[in-house]
């Protein structure tokens, strides 16, 4: 690792309070150091198939691929803490570099720059907050049409980006909403996104015996097994058959447009597994659902084009398909094609979302969008199927449970507060809670208040 990257990584860890004592470990009078974000998210356990795909699609060396996952985990935790600290002045965060060793955090308040740099991140002073630009995007969403199909906030340029398929379409949209042109970057595109029509993540399934989509992530709801997928693949009551054409189940709930989310309950012949179909059909383990930051690597599994990787470009993007507008999706550089819809996006071992739509293809390249998974889990009361969960030591014999409002299985958004063991904690990275991830154990996810 280059020296500047090593220094930045160590500074970030120290700022997060994650370094051991100067002796290299805990002393007799000190508690053991809390695990780092990389340890919490188990980036060192990334399967060889995922690392190989990152090397192929992102042009990385084996060392860079491993380092990138660790850096992305630490950057996500650091950015989440800074977002909480900066409040309304926060203007976005992103990672750069082949191994994602450089984190930049933007703010509209000059007084914040020292605190940002103290964590090892770069500080960028800008004129517009993330909240302001998101409000502009929401105004455009209400008036957008197929000629301006994609709108998102780009934190790097501190502008709202509007893609247009026809000359002048973006200007007309800005005029109709009263949005200042100085706040907007217009990008001309030749292709408009479309839903990619056509119980392991990435496997094929068929709707009503005809159209094909892809399994997102296996889940459970009580004793029922099933999977999360895209809403445009089917409506409540639509029956499904699996990759082998054996009767599988039916859609229980579906939303599209607005969002692009659904879940399918499977019959007793099907069992949910904590896997996504990786390169060559190998199983890629899923261990959680912590959403990764802009610039992070992400890989997608689908029944048409298989396993491909890219990077996260923007969160909370709005897209207008011919069928209507969906909001809250994430824009990526991963390619996809029809039939990949509903399939899995995963970063390291962390589930990210399900394929919604996009443009381009896997021959020439493309842009795709995923519906984040955590809102699907929360909306339908689903539990993500995960592997390798460490329950931790728990209370000793005769000791009471710590109590409080934190509960495994609950989906917590950034900013949510809970109590555990008599203390209060604020969530700094959205995730579905699981045994072993109690707030005192995972400072990458919870901050004591």
154 assigned to active site? no
C-alpha span between 413 and 287 (Å, rounded): 18
The residue annotated as part of the active site, out of 232, 308, 315, 431, is 232
Q: How are strands ordered across the β-sheet holding 102-107?
A: 90-96, 102-107, 122-125
C-alpha span between 238 and 254 (Å, rounded): 10
The radius of gyration of the chain's CA atoms, rounded to the nearest angstrom, is 22
Pairing of strands 417-420, 306-321: unpaired
The residue annotated as part of the active site, out of 57, 136, 154, 260, is 260
232 assigned to active site? yes
Backbone angles phi, psi at 81, to 5 degrees: -65, -40
DSSP, collapsed to helix, strand or coil, labels residue 299 as strand
The residue annotated as part of the active site, out of 318, 341, 347, 356, is 341
The two tokens of residue 147 are 């000629």
Q: Environment class of residue 297 by beta-carbon count within 10 Å: exposed (0-12), middle (13-18) or buried (19+)?
A: buried
Q: How far is CA 370 from CA 249, 333, 357, 378, in A?
A: 23, 11, 7, 16
Q: Environment class of residue 249 by beta-carbon count within 10 Å: exposed (0-12), middle (13-18) or buried (19+)?
A: buried
CA 145 from chain centre, in angstroms, equals: 26
Count the Cβ atoms, other than its own, within 10 Å of residue 245: 11
Q: Check if the beta carbon of residue 443 is closer than 8 Å to that of residue 17.
A: yes
Backbone angles phi, psi at 369, to 5 degrees: -130, 140
301 assigned to active site? no
Q: Tokens 């907050």 belong to which residue?
A: 129
* Residue 421 DSSP class: T
Pairing of strands 159-164, 184-188: parallel
Helices marked H in 261-419 — which ranges?
A: 373-380
C-alpha span between 439 and 449 (Å, rounded): 11
Q: How far is CA 99 from CA 13, 351, 388, 449, in A?
A: 17, 20, 26, 32
C-alpha span between 71 and 125 (Å, rounded): 23
Q: Check if the beta carbon of residue 354 is closer than 8 Å to that of residue 217.
A: yes
Catalytic amino acids? 232, 260, 341
């Amino acid at each position: 690792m280059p020296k500047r990257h090593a220094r930045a990584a160590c500074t970030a860890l120290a700022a997060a309070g994650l370094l051991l004592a100067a002796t290299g470990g805990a002393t007799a009078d000190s508690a053991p150091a809390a695990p780092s974000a990389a340890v919490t998210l188990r980036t060192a356990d990334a399967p060889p198939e995922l690392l190989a795909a990152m090397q192929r699609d992102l042009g990385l060396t084996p060392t860079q691929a491993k380092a990138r996952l660790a850096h992305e985990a630490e950057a996500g935790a650091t950015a989440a803490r800074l977002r909480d600290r900066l409040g309304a002045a926060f203007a976005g965060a992103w990672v750069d570099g082949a191994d994602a060793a450089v984190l930049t955090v933007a703010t509209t308040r000059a007084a914040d720059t020292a605190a940002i740099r103290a964590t090892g991140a770069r500080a960028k002073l800008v004129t517009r907050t993330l909240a302001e630009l998101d409000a502009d995007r929401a105004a455009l969403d209400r008036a957008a049409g197929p000629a301006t199909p994609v709108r998102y906030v780009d934190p790097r340029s501190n502008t709202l980006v509007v893609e247009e398929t026809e000359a002048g379409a973006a200007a007309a949209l800005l005029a109709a909403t009263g949005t200042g042109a100085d706040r907007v970057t217009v990008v001309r595109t030749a292709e408009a996104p479309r839903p990619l029509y056509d119980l392991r993540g990435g496997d094929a399934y068929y709707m009503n015996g005809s159209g094909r989509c892809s399994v997102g992530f296996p889940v459970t709801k009580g004793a029922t097994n099933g999977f999360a997928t895209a809403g445009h693949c089917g409506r409540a009551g639509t029956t499904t058959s699996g990759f082998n054409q054996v009767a599988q189940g039916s859609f229980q709930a579906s939303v599209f447009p607005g969002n692009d989310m659904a879940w399918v309950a499977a019959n007793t012949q099907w069992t949910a597994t904590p896997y996504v179909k990786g390169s060559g059909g190998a199983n890629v383990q899923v261990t959680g659902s912590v959403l990764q930051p802009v610039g992070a690597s992400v890989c997608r599994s689908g029944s048409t084009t298989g396993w491909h990787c890219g990077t996260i470009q923007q969160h909370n993007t709005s897209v207008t398909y011919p069928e209507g507008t969906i909001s809250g999706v994430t824009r990526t550089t991963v390619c996809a094609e029809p039939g990949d819809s509903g399939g899995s996006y995963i970063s390291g071992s962390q589930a990210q979302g399900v394929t919604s739509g996009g443009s381009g293809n896997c021959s020439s390249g493309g842009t795709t969008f995923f519906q984040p998974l955590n809102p699907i889990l929360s909306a339908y009361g689903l539990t993500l199927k995960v592997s390798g969960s460490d329950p931790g030591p728990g209370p000793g014999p005769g000791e009471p449970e710590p109590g409080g409002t934190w509960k495994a299985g609950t989906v917590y958004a950034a900013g949510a507060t809970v109590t555990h063991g008599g203390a209060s904690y604020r969530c700094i990275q959205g995730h579905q809670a699981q045994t072993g991830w109690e707030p005192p154990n995972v400072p990458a996810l919870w901050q004591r208040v």
